[in-house]
Structure 1
Amino acid sequence: MPFIRVSYQEGQYKPEELPLISEVIMEGLVEHFNVPEDDFFQVFHAHKPYEFYYNRNYLNVERSDRLLYIQVTLKSGRSTAQKTGFYKSLAENLASKVNIRQDDVFAILVETEFEDWTFGNGIAQMIQTQENRKEGGLA
């Protein structure tokens, strides 16, 4: 049930790079968080340069205008090891598969609970299927 928002500065990524970025993110979610492959909800936002701000070297990370903000909203309950594994593989795989500098991969996880989601029809589907999902892991 993760929902992913990817923000970047307009003109920094070619349209053909965006599906590759999407695939890398999804692969990481499946590998590290046991997210089902069909649990796929992502949105990409291109921002004008005057709408996109960042510190070029905060915490000794050298960022460029190709910085990607990747926000993943997901169910709480992942371990620190899962999260750090996700961050590491995300940066490494975006670097190797899309030629994005690891310094330009900025990710944040926002944790929620089952009752915080509706996938349509005004129904909190995750509450109704919570018992079934316990058997297969968190998504």
Structure 2
Amino acid sequence: MPLVHISLRTGKSEAYRQAIFDGLYRALHESFAVPEDDQFMTITEHDAANFRYGASYLGVDRGDDLVYIQITANDTRSVDQKKALFRRVVDLLGENPGIRPQDVFVNIVEVAKENWSLGNGLAHYA
């Protein structure tokens, strides 16, 4: 049950944003075995004054098309699954909507399964 927050600069089309959603869900489905219809994602757009990044931190040449992707997920995935997810996200977002690998920034926040309530005040995984 990942929860995905995506941040990017303003000005991208709806088709571009939907392609990000689609690519991320596909990568999560393939790499993390996320079930069908388990899609909980938001996109937040920022103007240039409210979007900062290190243009060359760790030798990565980032540009204004940088996309921040933060995934909150259960702490049940292996390091290999995480590496596979990072690679698959870059590949799929490179295909559509055409984001350069250098402009895909992914962070996973792991939480214990009992920290989720998906509605109705229930602890669905506890």
TM-score (norm 2): 0.96
Deviations 1:67-102 (A, max 9, x none): 000000000021111111110111111111211111
User: What does residue range 13-52 of structure 1 map to in structure 2 within 5 Å?
Assistant: 13-52=12-51
Equivalent residue letter for 1:6: I
Percentage of pairs with the same residue: 36
SS at match of 2:125: helix
The equivalent of 1:113 in structure 2 is: 112
SS at match of 1:89: helix
Unmatched 5+ residue regions in structure 1?
Answer: 128-139
**Greater helix share, structure number:** 1
The equivalent of 1:56 in structure 2 is: 55
| Separation in structure 2 between the aligned mates of residue 126 and residue 49 of structure 1, nearest angstrom | 39
* CA-CA distance at 1:45 after TM superposition: 0.2
| Separation in structure 1 between the aligned mates of residue 99 and residue 69 of structure 2, nearest angstrom | 13
| Separation in structure 2 between the aligned mates of residue 2 and residue 82 of structure 1, nearest angstrom | 14
Q: How many residues align?
A: 126
Unmatched 5+ residue regions in structure 2?
Answer: none
SS at match of 2:19: helix
Equivalent residue letter for 2:125: M
TM-score (norm 1): 0.87
Equivalent residue letter for 1:101: R
